[in-house]
């Protein structure tokens, strides 16, 4: 499922950071496919914990994204639209879903010495 991002130049990253971020995205998207809200939010930053609820997951990812795009299949990094500069990071992908392609936008936040997910958007 992971994109081969390490070979691509994203401003402010190195191979270890990209591998860590890709693993977190993989985990979240596997949870998206399984419709498991708790697993989906497990790598999210504490600053957004109030929104990491079952209701949020159902509204954003089941009722909207899953119904429109279907199951997640793969992604390709768009390095020119991606960047990291503490305390925030952004990775943007062209993503393949079962029903139609989408743009997958993933925001990160540097918290307690680690990069955590802040938001995942799935847009046409």
Q: What is the pLDDT of residue 55?
A: 98
Residue 14 is predicted with a pLDDT of: 86
What's the rounded Cα separation, in Å, for the pair 84 and 13? 6
Look at residue 1 in the predicted model and tell me its pLDDT: 43
Alpha-carbon gap, residue 91 to 66, rounded angstroms:
21
Q: Using the Cα atoms of residue 58, residue 78, residue 18 and residue 116 in order, give the sign of their dihedral.
A: negative
**pLDDT given at position 36:** 98
The domain locations on the chain are 15-123
pLDDT in tens, the chain (124 residues): 444 443 356 888 888 899 999 999 999 999 999 999 999 999 999 999 999 999 999 999 999 999 999 999 999 999 999 999 999 999 999 999 999 999 999 999 999 999 999 999 999 9
Look up the CATH architecture of domain 15-123.
Roll (3.10)
Burial class (CB in 10 A: 0-12, 13-18, 19+), 115: buried
Between CA 39 and CA 112, with CA 57 as vertex, the angle to 5 degrees is 55
pLDDT (0 to 100) of residue 3 = 42
Q: What is the DSSP string of 54-75?
A: HHHHIIIIIIIIIHHH-SEEEE
pLDDT computed for residue 10 by the predictor: 86
H or E element that contains 102: strand 102-111
């Amino acid at each position: 499922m992971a994109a081969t991002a390490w070979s691509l130049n994203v401003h402010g990253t190195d191979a270890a950071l990209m591998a860590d971020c890709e693993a977190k995205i993989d985990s979240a998207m596997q949870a998206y496919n399984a419709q498991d809200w708790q697993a989906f939010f497990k790598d999210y930053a504490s600053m957004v914990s109030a929104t990491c609820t079952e209701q949020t997951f159902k509204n954003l990812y089941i009722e909207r994204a899953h119904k429109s795009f279907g199951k997640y299949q793969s992604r390709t990094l768009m390095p020119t639209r991606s960047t990291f500069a503490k305390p925030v990071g952004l990775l943007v992908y062209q993503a393949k879903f079962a029903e139609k392609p989408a743009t997958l936008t993933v925001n990160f936040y540097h918290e307690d010495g680690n990069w955590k997910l802040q938001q995942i958007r799935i847009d046409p």
